[in-house]
Structure 1
Amino acid sequence: MTKVIVHSLFTDFDIDLFKAGKHFKLYEKLGAHLIEVNGVKGVYFAVWAPTAQSVSVVGDFNYWTQGEHNLNVRWDSSGIWEGFIPDISKGALYKYKIQSSINGVITEKADPFALYCEKPPHTASVVWDLDYKWKDENWMQNRQQHNALDKPYSVYEVHLGSWKRADHNRFLSYLELADDLVKYVKETGFTHVEFMPIMEYPYDPSWGYQLTGYFAPTSRFGKPQDFMVLVDRLHQEGIGVILDWVPSHFPDDAHGLGYFDGSHLYEHPDRRKGYHPDWKSLVFNYGRNEVRAFLISNAVFWLQNYHVDGLRVDAVASMLYLDYSRKEGEWEANIFGGRENLDSISFLKEFNEVIYANFYGVQTIAEESTSFPMVSRPTFTGGLGFGMKWMMGWMHDTLKYFQKETVYRKYHQNDLTFSMTYAFTENFMLPFSHDEVVYGKQSLIYKMPGDEWQRFANLRLLYGYMFTHPGTKLLFMGAEFGQTSEWNFEQSLDWHLLQYDFHSGIKRLITDLNQLYKSQPALYEKQFTADGFEWINYSDHQNAVLSYIRKGNNPDENVIVVCNFTQVVRENYRIGISKKGKLEEIFNSDASIYGGSGIENGKSLKIESIPYDGREFSVELILPPLSVTVYSFS
């Protein structure tokens, strides 16, 4: 058996950066790399295990025998074990057998930097490369035009394992999705896709939020290059790709990061900071330099090697607070006596600084549900540095309002108008995500009150209100055609529903709303600033009607939005207008093509010199039942 040859990819500068927590391309050094040494092909292995007494590479090439291929520890106290093993090729299976110098414990671990993993439930790492010829040059050179904060940003959230399945409930592969999913997203008009975590995970019911292979796209759907094809195809069709990223916690599976070298290497050693009671998982030690470098390197890896356009960071609230989901006595205050996790806050700021400094035209998005200030503000002003933040308060208040019978809505209009008191404190994304359609919460269509017609009218109204409200948009798969059942990760969406008019009408509505959003600069150019929005009338509680103006850079392109939140048709409904001219109805959620009653305004509505709503002019409209109507000046 060929033994390990002493070899290193690390320079002294690499080691200095690693120790300082400033090496953000660790994946180029750690892990398994197919290289050639003195004319001999093989694999260079490197793993961080500072408390190890010995580290062996075991795999199908040595019958999983410990001691056959022992790595050498570096002399520089970095804790890195490394070596070159000849005659191993791409596709070889391997793990690390690590014996602790502290207690003699032997762990058998998958490679934290593995590029590919065995298909679960198997847990070995696979020697692989990232060779691929990308064809998305045009997108990559111009993606700032698609991802900027003053551009339309409509996101389709997808769980790859349950979007659609083949016969006998088989997963679709990345390559099949590169045909079916790309075509569908293009057809429905979304600007971006957000994939729920695709990094390798062992347990399907975690939906991918309990990761063990941070650098490997899950092998459930194919090889790494197959996932590249999916991203590439989306880019070629002008669609951006966002990945769910989970730096907040990780599972304690035996082959994972937990207790990696017999010590608390990746997780915080204090259980009050290193264990998450909600998810029964481990929490990263954000104060340890090497762990910070691991996580930031991972973020850089997906942006660099998979051409990803953004990262949606999961469970940020759990990272920010030491007492998150913990009872009194289960947490310890920071050095200033507060509940903020200072190490985590520092880490998030550095993560955002590195991403925005190194990748032009990308976005980071925080799933953060508290009132923590300045999440989406630059770090140089004291913010966390994210590009956007999920507007969880808007989502909860809006759904609470819509679940009410229409007769009671006039008493609760403040549930809707309250969002505008804080809408511009952050760069908000409006999310109707997977979390809202599981665990007994019902699908969006069944949150709506009334008979069947009213349910669908309410849903059309909800979507119209969402797309005309300031902020970017996110919709979970299935919502775009009125999925009736709760999301089930073990099966396909209910695509058969599209044979019914109400459901196909919802899909057409979403397609047209995406087109409206993209075609009207007033809906996106100032979607994060107060001067992009103006109330016409927010106090017509009695009729449960809201009217407002969305503004862009050109005042002539402003649009007017009127929402009727009851099933009563409002004829001769007058709203104030600030200038003369005519209005044209450019969108109506009650149109018959969507399954509505077909009540419409004329194509040309004359603005009259009749003062109203504190304005010099006004116009008279017909408000269809449970509808959003949108008007432009003509």
Structure 2
Amino acid sequence: MDKNEALYTFGTGENFHIQNYFGVHRDHEGDELGYVFRVWAPNAEDVQLIGDFTDWKDNPLPMTKNEAGVWEVFTTLAKEGQIYKYLVKRQGGQVVEKMDPVALYLEERPGTGAIVRTLEDKKWKDGLWMGRRKRFGFKHRPVNIYEVHANSWKKDEDGKAYGFAQLKEELIPYLVKMNYTHVEFMPVMAHPLGMSWGYQLMGYFAFEHTYGTPEEFQDFVEACHQNNIGVLVDWVPGHFTQNDDALAYYDGTPTYEYQDHHRAHNYRWGALNFDLGKNQVQSFLISSALFWIEFYHIDGIRVDAVSNMLYLDYDDGPWAPNQFGGNRNIEGYNFLRRLNSVVKHRHPDVMMIAEESTAATPITKPLNEDGCGFDYKWNMGWMNDILRFFSEDPIYRQYDFNLVTFSFMYAFNENFILPFSHDEVVHGKKSMMHKMWGDRYNQFAGLRTLYAYQICHPGKKLLFMGSEFGQFLEWKYDHELEWDNLKEEDKLNLKMQGFTSHLNQFYKDNKALWQIDDSYEGLEIIDADNTAESVLSIIRKNDKGDMLVCVFNMTPVERKDFTIGVPLAGIYEEVLNTELEDFGGVWKQGNPVTRTQPGLWKDYKNTLSFTLPALGASIWKVKRRLKK
């Protein structure tokens, strides 16, 4: 794409690689080699380039504005590694130093200067992974995600957070050991304050300096792929930091944000909302998404706070209805559809995930069915219901058993991911283990049962770091995980970690748990009415009809000679029991191989009887079928 076309398509919202035009690039004028700088500030009165090569404000370089509002200057003074900013005289006369919105690399915070740096194309060595990804996709494959905040997974002895060079050496072997299929990072794009966890972005193309270099993150992704692990990243196209040296009111007028003051301001989060209907903003954001997918070989993007982009009344501030009198943000809805259309056209094997908590808009329905076109949506309703249930005293669970069963009514209304995310283990909500009812032993028993239920319920899976070994304390963004829990004398955390690893491998090994995640063809309810005993029985199936019988006892009462109906006569073997000693339970061995008996049980003509562990899960498969 030549310069004229790049500029034109930026204005029409059809330039999806704006980083090739804006920012800083090696260039030449005549025989002179140097760098060209370009920035969009259509209503600025003046823009000058300042940096190490101008002694900052001492010798600023004047920039020239074209008809599209883009300021440009060529200079031979700049050198690789030097820092620069733009000195913008806003409409009204105020002069401010501004970061480069399309910078690929920023200095270490709290600085916001961009760095003159040419990022070279990497010679990737993940061709086998990328080929398999293109061939098999992900919809009918196992997806079990370990969610990570890069700054707090682990720290050095001096308290410095691991960068991605260290995470490559330690996190990837841990992911392999724990049998996860994917790792998802809270935002790794440049952000001014760690306290925001990365969700108040300022650099939509820049890798967060505290995590290392872009090349180190590329190497991390490559190593993940070589170990058969996919990499997902969180991305925030709805709102951005209101810091005055970043995108906020860049030229003194609403540049990236809405014209309307209330629509521009996100009162709940103290941020500014992108004007998602503006062509240039669409070019900017879609270019950002594609940059992370293409430059870093990312396997998926989780779009944060989708509700904020879909509904005018989502925020706490004043709002006005749209032209049809409703609360839908029409620009936001159309932007999300266009984002997914562009990404899926170019990269159909990349996962697009929405963090969205309402049911008013179809999120994963196809674009031709008025959906938003995402591949997956977080199932927030399931998450809230099941965590409320497992935190209750078992005495009362019989009265709230619908919290367990209601999700089967809408399990396939969307394509869901079942999340136990970072949001559930902060701000006084307690850690996953601490949410569980009872003493320490029963808390771990409940947690094992909960995770087994998550694995067996239709939908892909996500678990936040630390939850896999039952960390007791809430997550703190500036502290590493409580790895010392694994040294506790009772070894319950260590056994919990081992159980999660075993469960994750069990998930991968059994197609019935992931091959049909989007229809009732992969699910059969044996008994969802046993509220008195708080026991749920379901069947998961693969495309050949092979099945797993999954039984969950939600109370701390062992049930001998527990009987359920099953569709096939046969010899059944227990393939998972959450109460084994190796997992932290009290059973020395699981149930013996068991033969079904003829007999009518609900609509089933065969029964299976066994001992159901207290506050535990028992999962069975057919070892050998018997003739009728």
- TM-score bin (small chain): over 0.9
Gap runs ≥5 in structure 1: 1-8
Deviates more, 1:595-604 or 1:607-616: 595-604
Q: Give the Cα separation in 1 of the matches to 2:108 and 2:380.
A: 35
For 1:510-551, what per-residue CA distance to the aligned partner results, in whole angstroms no more than 9, with x for missing partners?
Answer: 111111111111101111212111100010111110000001
Is 2:288 aligned against 1:298? yes
Is the Cα contact below 8 Å between 1:56 and 1:66 reproduced in 2? no
- Specify the alignment match of 2:224 in structure 1: 234
Q: What is the alpha-carbon distance in structure 2 between the residues aligned to residue 530 and residue 16 of structure 1?
A: 48
| 1:145/1:477 CA distance change after superposition, 3 Å | farther
Q: Which among 367, 371, 396 is matched to residue 379 of structure 1?
A: 367
Paired with 1:608 and 1:72, the residues of 2 have a C-alpha distance of 86
Alpha-carbon distance in structure 2 between the residues aligned to 1:535 and 1:39: 75
User: Structure 1 residues 243 and 146, CA, compared in 2 at 3 Å: closer, same or farther?
Assistant: farther
Aligned mate of 1:278, from 268, 282, 295: 268
* Aligned with 1:207 (options 177, 197, 215): 197
Aligned match of 2:414:
426
Superposed CA RMSD in Å reads 1.4
Partner residue in 2 for 1:598: 587
Q: 2:260, 2:293 → 1: CA distance? A: 32
* Aligned with 2:438 (options 419, 443, 450): 450
- Given that 1:272 and 1:332 are in contact with CA atoms closer than 8 Å, whether structure 2 keeps it comes out as no
- Higher mean displacement: 468-477 or 102-111: 102-111
Deviations 1:380-437 (A, max 9, x none): 1110010000000000000010011111111111111001111100000000001111
Are residue 407 (structure 1) and residue 395 (structure 2) matched? yes
After superposition, residues 27-176 of structure 1 pair within 5 angstroms as 27-65=19-57, 68-74=60-66, 77-100=67-90, 102-131=91-120, 132-144=122-134, 147-176=137-166
Q: Is the 8 A contact 1:266 1:284 kept in 2?
A: yes
- Greater mean alpha carbon deviation, residues 104-113 or residues 242-251: 104-113
What are the Cα deviations for residues 211-269 of structure 1, in whole angstroms up to 9, with x where unaligned?
A: 11111110102111111111111111111111100011111112110010111100112
Cα offset, 1:49, TM superposition: 0.8
**Does structure 2 conserve the Cα–Cα contact (< 8 Å) formed by 1:461 and 1:626?**
yes
Distance 1:601 1:184, change over 3 A: closer
Q: Is the 8 A contact 2:580 2:590 kept in 1?
A: no
Change (3 A) 1:551 1:361: same
2:589 and 2:392 map into 1 onto residues whose CA distance is 26
1:193 and 1:145, CA in 2 relative to 1: closer, same or farther beyond 3 A? farther
State the one-letter code of the partner of 1:124: G
* More off after superposition, 606-615 vs 38-47: 38-47
Residue pair 1:40, 1:86 contacting (<8 A) in 2 also: yes
CA distance in 2, matches of 1:88, 1:546: 67
Q: Distance in 1 between matches of 2:396 and 2:558?
A: 17
Offset of 1:610 from its aligned partner? 1.6
Structure-2 separation of matches of 1:566 and 1:126: 59
* 1:559 alignment partner in structure 2: 548
Q: How far did residue 306 of structure 1 move?
A: 0.7
Equivalent position of 2:208 in the other structure:
218
Q: Does 2:511 align with 1:506?
A: no
Provide the rounded CA distance (Å) in 1 between the counterparts of 2:126 and 2:297: 9
CA–CA separation in structure 1 for the residues paired with 2:533 and 2:21: 65
Q: What's the counterpart of residue 340 of structure 2?
A: 352
Q: Which of residues 611, 614, 626 in structure 1 aligns to 2:615? A: 626
For residues 543-586 of structure 1, give each alpha carbon's deviation from its aligned partner in whole angstroms, at most 9, with x where no partner exists. Answer: 1100000011011x211100001111111111111121111111
Amino acid at match of 1:185: L
For 1:481, which of 445, 469, 481 is the aligned residue? 469
Measured in 2, the distance between the counterparts of 1:37 and 1:521 equals 60
1:360 shift after superposition: 3.2
- Is the 1:311–1:365 Cα contact (8 Å) retained in structure 2? yes
**More displaced 10-residue stretch of structure 1: 89-98 or 144-153:** 144-153
Counterpart AA for 1:25: H
Structure 2 CA distance, aligned partners of 1:406 and 1:353?
Answer: 47
User: Which residue identity is paired with 1:348?
Assistant: L
Query: Contact 1:559/1:630 (CA < 8 Å) preserved in 2?
Result: yes
Q: Residue 311 of structure 1: CA displacement?
A: 0.4
Give the equivalent residue in structure 2 for 1:6: none
| 1:108 to partner: Cα distance | 1.2
**Match for residue 449 of structure 2?**
461
Distance in 1 separating the partners of 2:271 and 2:363: 25
- The C-alpha deviation readout for 1:331-387, integer Å capped at 9, x for no partner, is 110000000000000000000001100013111100001112310111111100100
Instruction: Give me the TM-score of the superposition, normalised by structure 1.
Output: 0.96
Partners of 2:502 and 2:4 in 1: how far apart?
Answer: 57
For the 8 Å contact 2:591–2:611, the answer to whether it is kept is no
Mapped contact 1:349–1:379 kept (Cα < 8 A)? yes
Distance in 2 of aligned mates of 1:178 and 1:438: 27
Structure 1 counterpart SS, 2:521: helix
Q: 2:607 aligns to what SS in structure 1?
A: strand
1:60 and 1:429 map into 2 onto residues whose CA distance is 47
SS of structure 1 residue aligned to 2:343:
helix
Q: Where does residue 3 of structure 1 map in the other structure?
A: none
Judging changes above 3 Å, is the alpha-carbon distance between structure 1 residues 508 and 145 closer, same or farther for their aligned structure 2 residues? Answer: farther
Name which of structure 1's ranges 368-377 and 545-554 shifts more when overlaid on structure 2.
Answer: 368-377
| Number of aligned residues | 620
Report sequence identity in percent. Answer: 39
Corresponding residue for 2:626? Answer: none
Question: What CA distance in whole angstroms lies between the structure 2 residues aligned with 1:224 and 1:129?
Answer: 11
CA displacement at 1:295 relative to structure 2: 0.5
Q: Which amino acid aligns with 1:29?
A: Y
1:24 aligns with 2:16: yes
Deviation at 1:603, TM superposition (A): 4.5
Structure 1 residue aligned with 2:239: 249
Q: Give the aligned partner of residue 354 of structure 2.
A: 366
User: Partners of 2:272 and 2:461 in 1: how far apart?
Assistant: 32
Is 2:593 the partner of 1:608? no
Structure 1 position 16, deviation (Å): 2.3
- Equivalent-residue separation in structure 2 for 1:66 and 1:399 (angstroms): 60
Give the direction of change, closer, same or farther, for the CA distance of 1:88–1:591 in structure 2 (3 Å limit): same
In 2: Cα distance, 1:399 partner to 1:319 partner = 27
Residues of 2 paired with 1:174 and 1:41: CA distance? 34
**Structure 2 CA distance for aligned equivalents of residues 256 and 488 of structure 1:** 27
Q: Which residue of 1 aligns with 2:511?
A: 521
Q: How do 1:255-270 and structure 2 match up within 5 A?
A: 255-270=245-260
Q: How big is the shift at 1:15? A: 2.3
Contact 1:155 1:190 in 2 (8 A): yes
Conservation of the 8 A alpha-carbon contact between 1:601 and 1:622? no
Q: What SS class does the counterpart of residue 496 from structure 2 fall into?
A: helix
